[in-house]
């Protein structure tokens, strides 16, 4: 393991941090900036830390011409990259796996500084990247190999399914998981033989650029991955408008526009969008374990996670006992901006996110909801800190009932039956993630199957499904289209081609055989194939 990358100043441990309690080593930002496709004298954008609002670095801003240049360079490099064997590409990913683990301390520093999350929650991103690298490196040959398919006429028709790269994939990544979301969508795209043009969010660019530097160190050829920086409406849109395939993570509102634009060009798109995820704690649940998991699942990354839990659905028989455990744990949570292990929750990313959380809490409070814990900002810790908050008595008149908060806020609901719990879990336009706590696993599986969400965790909040890299992850309804992980997570970056070879005789009347007789023979053949169980 390497030593920490970021140098703390003397004030870094203070409860009242100075405007810039952490500084980057000299030359780091300049080195990372060289990876960005931008004009020689580009405008710059500041990188700030939500821990204090302090300035970290300045990075160049790309232009539309920069995006065009990036696509030309990626398009030129892609055929050479696709010509390499899958085994060679997989070895590059295994080297990246090792590099991410070796440099985890400096990556954790950058993740924390840019996202505001705690070190433990930042470590989830390191685990995620390593897991995705390992999975696709080991499974790519199986996922992408040619597959024999049943031909039109057994033996005489030999059919094979092939998979080819799409070309140049456009990726627009979000800010909330600056390491994981910047690179894990790129990994299967590259392994499938594509080149990539990526636009990391401006709030998360340092972490993303450091991860791309490690990717280069792992052996990615020059030109295959192009990086541009800039705002979403301009540079992000330009990236997606030029792609052969689109990968977007962000809000449902923007996702609809991305989908419309992709459909207009008749290209594919994978979109992971918003969520309003529910956790049901059944009457037979282990309440202490459920409360521990709820703390992690609601407040990880200060709730700025698409799969985090925003609604707690409690069976009325255990609701009060569960809340006794849960409220006590939430009130005891440690908040702080330290680049060290031990804190339970960090900061929101920006004033915009703080305003949204505050508005949701105050709207609910003014309309009669009860605040069981939290409910206030903590500017003495940092400018965007907000206490982990539990609301009860939330009704349909309150914004937080149906709108995604994307912050450290959860609302509590009581039900009398499993059926009522499933109905409430499904009472949303979203369908990304859900959770069921019960000691009866069969019951849990049955309830999970009834919830309209792309992933459902039994006796876990989100990590169990998210970290199952061999299984697809994505949303139903307004939570998006397409899937990450598993076979679907790499197949989406490929074009499927069927090659059929016909032997001996055509699928047509043979010369000298009357058409009626030929048709009768084909009918007999079809009946024989049905009787023989052929598909």
Q: Residues 174-216: pLDDT tens digits?
A: 999 999 999 999 999 999 999 999 999 999 899 999 999 999 9
DSSP 122-140: HHHHHHHHHHHHHHHHHHH
DSSP state of 6: S
Check if the beta carbon of residue 64 is closer than 8 Å to that of residue 234. Answer: yes
Q: What is the pLDDT of residues 379-431, one digit of tens each?
A: 999 999 999 999 999 999 999 999 999 999 999 999 999 999 999 999 999 99
Q: Are 327 and 391 in contact (CB under 8 A)?
A: no
The residue-averaged pLDDT of 232-261 equals 96
Rounded mean pLDDT, 8-34:
67
Check if 3 is active-site.
no
Distance CA 378, CA 487 (A): 44
> At which residue do the structure tokens 């990075």 appear?
59
For residues 214 and 100, is the Cβ–Cβ distance under 8 A? yes
The pLDDT score that the predictor gives to residue 4 is 56
106 catalytic residue (yes or no): no
Q: Which of these is catalytic: 306, 387, 392, 404?
A: 306
Tokens of 402: 């149906």
pLDDT for 12 equals 37
Q: Which two tokens stand for residue 503?
A: 């032997």
pLDDT, mean of residues 508-524: 90
* Confidence grade of residue 20 (pLDDT, cut at 50, 70, 90): very low
In percent, the amount of the chain with pLDDT more than 70 equals 96
Percentage of the chain beyond pLDDT 90 is 89
487, 142 Cβ separation under 8 angstroms: no
CB atoms within 10 A of CB 53: 16
Tell me the pLDDT tens digit for each residue of 365-384: 999 999 999 999 999 999 99
- Of the residues 106, 272, 310, 392, which is catalytic? 272
DSSP type of residue 473: B
pLDDT at 6: 57
Whole-angstrom distance, CA of residue 245 vs CA of residue 164: 13
Asked if pLDDT for residue 266 goes beyond 90, the answer is yes
By CB atoms closer than 10 A (0-12, 13-18, 19+), residue 41 is exposed
Assigned token pair, 225:
């991955």
Confidence of residue 18 (pLDDT cuts 50, 70, 90): very low
| DSSP element (H, E) containing 291 | helix 287-299
- Digit-coded pLDDT (tens) for 268-290: 999 999 999 999 999 999 999 99
Residue 17 banded pLDDT, cuts 50, 70, 90: very low
Answer with the residue of higher pLDDT: 3 or 353.
353
pLDDT digits 0-9 by tens, 151-179: 988 889 999 999 999 999 999 999 999 99
pLDDT tens, position by position, 106-152: 999 999 999 999 999 999 999 999 999 999 999 999 999 999 999 98
Distance CA 526, CA 323 (A): 64
Q: What is the DSSP letter of 221?
A: P
Taking residues 294-302, report their average pLDDT.
Answer: 97
The answer to whether the Cα torsion of 255, 259, 261, 262 is positive or negative is positive
Q: Is the pTM of this model over 0.85?
A: yes
Buried b (16+ CB within 10 A) or exposed e, 473-511: bbbebbbbbbbbbbbbbbbbbbeeeeeeeeeeeeeeeee
- What are the residues whose beta carbons fall under 8 Å from the beta carbon of 88, sequence distance 6 or more? none
Strands 480-481 and 409-415, sheet pairing: unpaired
CA distances from 466 to 210, 337, 485 (A): 24, 26, 9
- pLDDT, mean over the chain: 94
């Amino acid at each position: 393991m390497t030593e920490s990358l970021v140098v703390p100043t003397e004030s870094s441990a203070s409860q009242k941090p100075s405007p810039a309690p952490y500084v980057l080593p000299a030359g780091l930002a300049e080195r990372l900036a060289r990876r960005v496709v931008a004009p020689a004298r580009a405008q710059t954008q500041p990188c700030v830390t939500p821990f204090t609002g302090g300035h970290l670095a300045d990075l160049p801003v790309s232009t539309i011409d920069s995006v065009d240049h990036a696509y030309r360079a990626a398009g030129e490099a892609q055929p050479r990259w696709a010509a390499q064997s899958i085994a060679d590409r997989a070895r590059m990913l295994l080297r990246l796996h090792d590099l991410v683990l070796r440099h985890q301390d400096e990556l954790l520093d950058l993740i924390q500084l840019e996202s505001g999350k705690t070190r433990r929650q930042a470590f989830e991103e390191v685990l995620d990247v390593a897991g995705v690298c390992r999975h696709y490196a080991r499974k790519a040959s199986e996922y992408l190999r040619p597959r024999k398919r049943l031909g039109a006429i057994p033996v005489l028709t030999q059919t094979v399914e092939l998979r080819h790269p799409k070309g140049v994939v456009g990726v627009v990544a979000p800010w909330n998981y600056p390491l994981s979301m910047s690179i894990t969508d790129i990994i299967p795209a590259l392994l499938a033989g594509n080149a990539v043009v990526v636009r990391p969010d401006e709030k998360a660019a340092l972490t993303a650029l450091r991860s791309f530097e490690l990717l280069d160190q792992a052996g990615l050829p020059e030109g295959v991955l192009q990086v541009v920086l800039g705002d979403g409406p301009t540079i992000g849109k330009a990236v997606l408008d030029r792609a052969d395939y689109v990968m977007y993570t962000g809000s449902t509102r923007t996702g609809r526009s991305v989908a419309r634009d992709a459909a207009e060009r008749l290209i594919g798109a994978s979109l992971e969008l918003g969520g309003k995820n529910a956790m049901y704690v059944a009457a037979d649940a282990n309440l202490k374990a459920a409360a521990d998991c709820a703390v992690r699942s609601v407040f990880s990354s200060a709730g700025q996670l698409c799969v985090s839990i925003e609604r707690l659905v409690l069976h009325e028989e255990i609701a009060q006992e569960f809340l006794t455990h849960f409220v006590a744990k939430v009130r005891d949570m440690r908040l702080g901006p330290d680049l060290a292990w031990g804190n339970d929750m960090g900061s929101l990313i920006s004033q915009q996110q703080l305003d949204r959380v505050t508005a949701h809490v105050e709207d609910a409070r003014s309309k009669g909801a009860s605040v069981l814990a939290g409910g206030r900002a903590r500017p003495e810790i940092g400018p965007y800190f907000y206490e982990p908050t539990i609301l009860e008595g939330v009704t349909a008149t309150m914004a937080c009932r149906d709108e995604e908060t994307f912050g450290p806020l959860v609302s509590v609901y009581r039900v009398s039956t499993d059926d009522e719990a499933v109905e409430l879990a499904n009472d949303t336009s979203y369908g990304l993630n859900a959770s069921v706590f019960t000691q009866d696993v069969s019951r849990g599986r049955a309830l999970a199957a009834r919830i309209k969400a792309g992933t459902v965790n039994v006796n876990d909040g989100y990590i169990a499904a998210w970290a199952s890299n061999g299984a697809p992850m994505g949303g139903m309804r307004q939570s998006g289209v397409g899937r990450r992980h598993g076979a679907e997570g790499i197949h989406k970056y490929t074009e499927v081609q069927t090659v059929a070879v016909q032997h001996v005789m055509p699928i047509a009347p043979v010369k000298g055989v009357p058409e009626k007789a030929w048709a009768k023979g084909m009918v007999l053949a079809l009946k024989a194939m049905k009787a023989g169980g052929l598909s």
